[in-house]
Amino acid sequence: MKIIVGISGGIAAYKVPQLVRLLKKRGHEVQCVVTAHALEFVTKVTLETVSERRLYCDLFDDGNERTTEHISLKDWGDVLLLAPATANIIGKMANGIGDDALSTLLLSFGGKPMFVCPAMNTQMAENVAVAENLRVLEERGVRVMDYEVGELACGAVGKGRMAEPEKIVEWLEEKLEEGKSMRGKRVLITAGPTYEKIDAVRFIGNYSSGKMGFALAEEFAERGAEVTLVAGPCNQTTKSRGVRRIDVESAQEMYDAATEAFERADVAILSAAVADFRPDHQEEQKIKKQGDGGMTLKLVQNPDILATLGKRKREGQLLVGFALETNNEMTYATEKLKKKGLDMIVMNSLRDEGAGFGTDTNKVTIIDKAGNVESGELKSKREVAGDIADAVERQMENK
């Protein structure tokens, strides 16, 4: 997730580098944005080092890519965490004041989730205006973390401390989970190619990179689903905590893992390029050349995972297949949808440049069993995964 950490000028700002490190360790990307006063408590070098991104602190900084950087940052960020939030920035936020980099960003961030960790002296925290401002923010959907009670920087003991970074991360992730659309749903995804062994050193494979399946796994995990990713041999990695990865090699192994996981799945999306055939037997040793003659490999059919799941599908389960075609795309895809008992099929054509195997982009047409057809543009595989997830969620609502 892309998190913007807004830092205003309170002593608790000294805890923010640790907070940023924790968020990064959990696999998030972090962009820090500070007020001028925050830099009295924590340095630019520290924040840039821990976040691994340039710090944004001044609307008119020469280093800004453009003067509308706060607008591009609001497009970049998925959520904004304001920690520590002083009485001043809370007041600006509640009253629509934008007079520096952070406050203008807060104004433009509307519609996306915002989280506020207030920190201030007890008297300030109990001030009616501050309490009223926080109430207004909560009414507008901003999540506000409770103050901690304890020793304050001024020496007094009372309400107003900012929680420790570990606790903030826990709170943030818990709140983010609550709002997720696929929370509590189990999604099975197959990805990548399969390798069908010929002998000790050779196999029959295909050019599938696994990128589309991994993008789908990450997209669904980000939407709160519990994802089981059955992956054929490929070089993809995922840091997503919501993804349980099972590595397999052959179609038969993929079949075994997928049919088992399907028992508990709400949704299954089979994006793997599964070999239709395998050698009828595998040689233990490397096969040697014999004379000048050629050689014949006898192939037998692999089980069709998608068709099997189509037959086993229970009420309420949703099954999505992929169709990679080179010609007569719509006809073949629609036939496959019916024949394999699918709810939806994602079609991509090798005739479209930038679509299909290996590329970082894809161009797909999503067809559902009611006959609705949605044709997409050429997009990144992650964006395509978002479109597929949207279509899946729409189908689930109608089930």
Catalytic residue numbers read 154
Residues 317-346 that bind ligand C5P (CB under 6 A): 321-323, 336
* Candidates 35-43, 65-73, 162-170, 272-280; binding stretch for ligand C5P (CB under 6 A): 272-280
In the complex, what is the shortest distance from the CB of residue 273 to ligand C5P, in angstroms, rounded to a whole number?
Answer: 7
Is residue 304 a contact point for ligand C5P (CB under 6 A)? Answer: yes
Report the C-alpha dihedral over residues 223, 226, 230, 235, rounded to 10 degrees. 50
| Residue with smaller CB distance to ligand C5P, 215 or 274 | 274
Q: What is the CA radius of gyration of the chain?
A: 26
- Identify the residue among 119, 187, 270, 391 touching ligand C5P (CB under 6 A): 270
H helix and E strand count, the chain: 13, 21
| Residue with smaller CB distance to ligand C5P, 5 or 217 | 217
**For ligand C5P, which residue has the nearest CB?**
305
Angle, in degrees to the nearest 10, between helices 16-25 and 165-178: 50
Is residue 189 a contact point for ligand C5P (CB under 6 A)? Answer: no
In the complex, what is the shortest distance from the CB of residue 369 to ligand C5P, in angstroms, rounded to a whole number?
Answer: 15
* Candidates 161-169, 170-178, 316-324, 384-392; binding stretch for ligand C5P (CB under 6 A): 316-324
Query: In whole angstroms, what separates CA 367 from the centre of its chain?
Result: 24
In the complex, what is the shortest distance from the CB of residue 260 to ligand C5P, in angstroms, rounded to a whole number?
Answer: 14
Burial bucket for residue 64 (CB in 10 Å: 0-12, 13-18, 19+): middle
Burial bucket for residue 275 (CB in 10 Å: 0-12, 13-18, 19+): buried
* Helix, strand, coil tally for the chain in percent (to 5): 35, 25, 40
| CA neighbours closer than 13 Å in the CB half-sphere of residue 111 | 4
Are the C-beta atoms of residues 378 and 352 closer than 8 Å to each other? Answer: yes
In the complex, what is the shortest distance from the CB of residue 190 to ligand C5P, in angstroms, rounded to a whole number?
Answer: 6
- Identify the residue among 85, 230, 306, 319 touching ligand C5P (CB under 6 A): 306
Query: In whole angstroms, what separates CA 261 from the centre of its chain?
Result: 21
Q: Interface mask (CB under 6 A) for ligand C5P, residues 193-222, using x and -? A: ------------------------------
In the complex, what is the shortest distance from the CB of residue 276 to ligand C5P, in angstroms, rounded to a whole number?
Answer: 6
The residue written with tokens 């930038």 in the block is 354
| Residue with smaller CB distance to ligand C5P, 121 or 302 | 302
Is residue 391 a contact point for ligand C5P (CB under 6 A)? Answer: no
* Candidates 5-13, 25-33, 197-205, 298-306; binding stretch for ligand C5P (CB under 6 A): 298-306
- Identify the residue among 121, 302, 348, 365 touching ligand C5P (CB under 6 A): 302
- Identify the residue among 4, 189, 215, 251 touching ligand C5P (CB under 6 A): 251
| CA neighbours closer than 13 Å in the CB half-sphere of residue 23 | 30
| Residue with smaller CB distance to ligand C5P, 142 or 344 | 344
Burial bucket for residue 29 (CB in 10 Å: 0-12, 13-18, 19+): middle
Secondary structure (DSSP) of 212-244: HHHHHHHHHHHTT-EEEEEE-S-------TTEE
| Residue with smaller CB distance to ligand C5P, 305 or 367 | 305
In the complex, what is the shortest distance from the CB of residue 361 to ligand C5P, in angstroms, rounded to a whole number?
Answer: 19
* Candidates 142-150, 241-249, 304-312, 377-385; binding stretch for ligand C5P (CB under 6 A): 304-312
Query: In whole angstroms, what separates CA 236 from the centre of its chain?
Result: 15
| Residue with smaller CB distance to ligand C5P, 224 or 303 | 303
Angle, in degrees to the nearest 10, between helices 381-398 and 211-222: 50
Secondary structure (DSSP) of 327-342: SSHHHHHHHHHHHTT-
Residue ranges that bind ligand C5P, judged by CB under 6 A: 190, 251, 270-272, 274, 276, 302, 304-306, 321-323, 336
